[in-house]
A and B are shown apart, each in its own frame.
Chain A
Amino acid sequence: MNNSSLHSQRNLNIGFILFLTLLITLLSQISIRLTLLMALGISFGFVLQKSRFCLVSALRDPILIGMTQLTRAFLLLLGISILGFALVFWGASQRNIPLSLNVFPLGVHTVVGGLLFGIGMVLAGGCSTGILVRIGEGFAMQFVAFFGLVIGSVLGERSLKNWRNVFGEWPGVFLPDILGWIPTLLLELSVLSVLWQLARWWQKKQLGEW
């Protein structure tokens, strides 16, 4: 850390924190909702950048280099999301708050879209959040990927109806409606823990004892 080309970024940091504080104070005068969204967004960005969380790496590394640390982190993320999802749903139903769950039935278009997105994210070196984080870090190549992301999102959003019409949708299955919430949670978490063990076994097999 004694290299002369490693400039201290403290002043920039202080300046940026001041700017964000002012922005949030200003926003809180206009709308509490916007303020909370902004604060959530900033925290998201901070955690994503510091954690070096990378969806591409989580899905690609097991096959490419036999490492599954991030894959397991991803499974943990899914587990926490499932619990949080259930908690929010339960809390909302206790207080009679209407909640849109954004649950959509699967279809062939889901698979096609997933494949396209998967190929794109490996080529671009980042999923959507990964690209945003790396733009923030100043990696110029990701700007190109960002334009692709914007164009693709707009096209996808515009053509979603046609895709649904062309391929049709399988009848939606929402597990909690069939099994109830507790068995669903247990089922989902046990599937995740099996996948976790599988991921650990895979890395051991690929890299030897670890």
Chain B
Amino acid sequence: MANFAIDIWGEMCPIPLIKAKKKLLSMQCGDILVLETEHSCTSRGIVVWAKANRYIIKEEEVANGIWHLELTKTHD
């Protein structure tokens, strides 16, 4: 159980998603990936993608227009 974070600030889709996918490969099951973005579509996109891949995802709008995402890797 470890926490990871990648910097996707200011990036537009699909770059955050590609970066997250890449990072997930190096993580163990149960690890959490923390992402923060100010791009609404990126946030939505990652949530939908994570659900389709059956990962656990938590989305919170921490300030106006800033989304905080926590993605738990549940399987390989």
What residues make up the interface of A, taking CB atoms closer than 8 Å to B? 3, 5-7, 9, 52, 54, 56-57, 60-61, 64-65, 67, 69, 125-126, 130, 134, 137-139, 141, 203, 207, 210
Contact = CB atoms under 8 A, between A and B. Distances in A.
Contact of A57 (B41, B52, B65): B41
A137 B41 CA distance: 10
A208 to B, nearest CB: 8
Given A52-B41, A57-B41, A67-B49, A138 B14 contact: no
Contact of A64 (B10, B18, B39, B64): B18
Interface string B1-12: 000000000101
B63 A57 contact: no
A10 to B, nearest CB: 12
Nearest to B15: A125
B63 A6 contact: yes
Interface string B46-72: 001100110000000111110000000
B30 to A, nearest CB: 20
B14 A52 contact: no
Contact of B21 (A65, A139, A141): A65
Contacts of A69: 48, 52
Contacts of B62: 3, 5-6
A133 B64 CA distance: 16
B74 interface: no
Nearest to B65: A138
B40 A7 contact: no
A68 B52 CA distance: 10
Contacts of A207: 52-53
Given A3-B63, A5-B62, A64 B41 contact: no
Q: Which 10 A-B pairs have the closest CB atoms?
A: A125-B12, A5-B63, A52-B44, A207-B52, A6-B63, A67-B52, A3-B62, A64-B14, A137-B40, A65-B49
B27 interface: no
B17 interface: yes
A172 B46 CA distance: 42
A67 B18 contact: no
Contacts of B17: 64-65
B13 interface: yes
B9 to A, nearest CB: 11
Nearest to A206: B52
Nearest to A140: B10
Contacts of A56: 13
B63 A60 contact: no
A14 B12 CA distance: 30
A6 B38 contact: no
Interface string B31-49: 0000000111100110011
